[in-house]
Structure 1
Amino acid sequence: MKKNNRPIYPFTAIVGQEEMKLALLLNIVDPKIGGVMIMGDRGTGKSTTIRALADLLPEIETVANDPFNSHPTDIELMSENVRQLKEAGEELLLAQKKVPMIDLPLGATEDRVCGTIDIEKALTEGVKAFEPGLLAQANRGILYVDEVNLLDDHLVDILLDSAASGWNTVEREGISIRHPARFVLVGSGNPEEGELRPQLLDRFGMHAEIRTVKDPILRVQIVEERSEFDRSPDEFLQKYNLQQEVLRQRIINAQEKLNKVQLDYEIRVKISQVCSELEVDGLRGDIVTNRAAKALAAFEGRDEVTVDDVLRIITLCLRHRLRKDPLEEIDSGQKVEKVFQRIFSNL
């Protein structure tokens, strides 16, 4: 923890909410999973957990003074300006920085999110005068939208498009600027305040549902831990320092191992069979389930995906993609599990 920064509650100290924590960790291991939608009651630690995760992550190497957090070697994560400097053979100044964690306010305008082009400067001086927005700041980090179900659908579309493609394009009066915007999109909301449209919900890689803890002993433990943190943050952080470091190293190892993880053809067929039987539209469900299963195997330090890996993540990947039947009493998560058990029973 840097000096003068407000202390952040440690990720490893968060009690319960395993589904949410797993979904977030897997998206950090493989950002191409496509983000997480977290739906649950108020006061269940959604924001605390997401901020704790951002604080836990290892620092990234960036090009110094670059507003897009450009990667020094990966062209896909580089701004146009940095790429031109690199092609010209100029030496880039590098800097280490914390993974950016950007909060998107509910009242944000499109210009604030995407960035703006100064047309007057572009026309009079002949330069592309671009003022970066929140998507630029979020590149290579986490973009968090609280109450995403209350956000304007048009803005949600922009966020999801950028998260899927890894790029943001701003066009004004015939001037076009494109910059990298690869981030883990995390949305949270309370189902009582309304659901997201199905076509937007489907674009989130995973969907975690969280509930208020009912067990009185667990509730007391959570309250006591929080009180201890508020009373003496430095001592509390010290207590969890080793666990935080162990988890940080696990994430780094998993990111390095990810491309080596194998997913057996027979398991891939069964995953697609589950998606087909559940009448999941499109192939996004199949792709995300495959990616998440590999990310989980990598996180656990294994080179091969097991059936148990698929069981642990398939509900997170598919529950929000099922067609809603208002007359059906069975929960969508149970429905996914039921079909999974039947199809995978002979493996």
Structure 2
Amino acid sequence: MKQPFPFSAIVGQEEMKQAMILTAIDASIGGVLVFGDRGTGKSTAVRALAALLPPISAVQGCPVNSQFAKDVPDWANLNDKQVAAMPTPVIDLPLGATEDRVTGALDIEKALTKGEKAFQPGLLARANRGYLYIDEVNLLEDHIVDLLLDVAQSGENVVEREGLSIRHPARFVLVGSGNPEEGELRPQLLDRFGLSVEVASPKDVATRVEVIKRRDAYEHDNTAFMVRWQAEDAAIRDRILKARRALAKITTPDAVLSDVAELCLALGSDGLRGELTLLKAARAQAVWDGKRKLTRDHIRAVAPMALRHRLRRDPLDEAGSGTRVTRTVEEVLG
């Protein structure tokens, strides 16, 4: 089985790659929504980043990837609870998936006849401590969207049937992609994504040729291609790990907090989730840049991806939401 395409070998799409990196530094940012053309590397990027990250420690055979033996659910029925390294999980949530497949299913008959909580874990269990990827997220059925909203809020999946209840942790980075021409995303789910980026097919011949060359090399000379990008991927991984360690030590001046609040007020974003996400993303950007103090430059760098999907529609303004954010940043921050 081939390894995922190297993250550092992805041509262009800098904003998408940066958003992925920021959520790898601080998972509490809340995931990434990627809207744009088909075939622009959306699913490639999330799999590449997960493969780049160091393995996680998990109990072998645990259906929710528990880090410690004491956290393995009773219903898992594991006798041997050895901890081993495993790749960061990336789980696809396909369109048309049933509720039982997403959340897991309880065997009511076994529970009633044998008095045992028989539970078949779903996709949310497998995604714990990893990534949940949803292609065409804007086409998800409403009841699945509601489930995701509940889990994203609590970090826990609850399955209840006939008076029986099963709970397990479900904390993951949610990555959704789609084409806005095929349908809009429900506002409630849209607001749950920390960052939003827009991607497009490259417009110049040289860039398109480079994409073709790298993909062709990956498919037909895979070993040499992977070795070629190994060092660059390792450098990104080391930089992410260094940024994670520095995150708790970064200084946040009150003046920058005022900038964040003033910017969100000027844009008319609802609630405080915009401010909180902007602050987290800016801090992640700062430590990625190797800085110890948050500045306006870091706010400027991440404001479009943190705020563009939180704006109310303005029928009198034909500029895109990203342009509106950039324009307001210039007006507020100078």
Q: Above 0.5 in TM-score? A: yes
Give the aligned partner of residue 67 of structure 2: 71
Residue 10 of structure 2 is aligned to residue 8 of structure 1: no
The answer to whether the Cα contact below 8 Å between 1:34 and 1:164 also exists between their aligned partners in 2 is no
- What one-letter code is carried by the residue in structure 2 that aligns with 1:182? R
Q: CA deviation at 1:333?
A: 1.0
What CA distance in whole angstroms lies between the structure 2 residues aligned with 1:57 and 1:190?
A: 28
Q: CA deviation at 1:236?
A: 0.3
What CA distance in whole angstroms lies between the structure 1 residues aligned with 2:147 and 2:248?
A: 29
SS at match of 2:97: coil
Q: Which structure 1 residue ranges, 4+ long, deviate > 6 Å from structure 2?
A: 82-85
- What one-letter code is carried by the residue in structure 2 that aligns with 1:138? A
SS at match of 2:91: strand
Residue 202 of structure 2 is aligned to residue 206 of structure 1: no
What CA distance in whole angstroms lies between the structure 1 residues aligned with 2:5 and 2:233?
A: 11
- List aligned pairs for 1:1-347, cutoff 5 A: 5-72=1-68, 78-81=71-74, 92-345=81-334
Instruction: Mark the CA change 1:125 to 1:209 in structure 2 (over 3 Å): closer, same or farther.
Output: same
Q: What TM-score, normalized to structure 1?
A: 0.92
- What one-letter code is carried by the residue in structure 2 that aligns with 1:187? G
Structure 2, gaps ≥5 residues long: none
What CA distance in whole angstroms lies between the structure 2 residues aligned with 1:91 and 1:278?
A: 54
Report Cα offsets for 1:76-121 as digits up to 9, x if no partner: xx44439999xxxx99521110000101111101100000111111
SS at match of 1:23: helix
SS at match of 1:170: strand
What CA distance in whole angstroms lies between the structure 2 residues aligned with 1:301 and 1:30?
A: 15
SS at match of 1:240: helix
- What one-letter code is carried by the residue in structure 2 that aligns with 1:211? A
Output the aligned Cα RMSD: 2.0
Q: CA deviation at 1:6?
A: 2.0
Aligned pair count? 334
Percent identity, please. Answer: 51
Q: What TM-score, normalized to structure 2?
A: 0.95
What CA distance in whole angstroms lies between the structure 1 residues aligned with 2:330 and 2:285?
A: 19
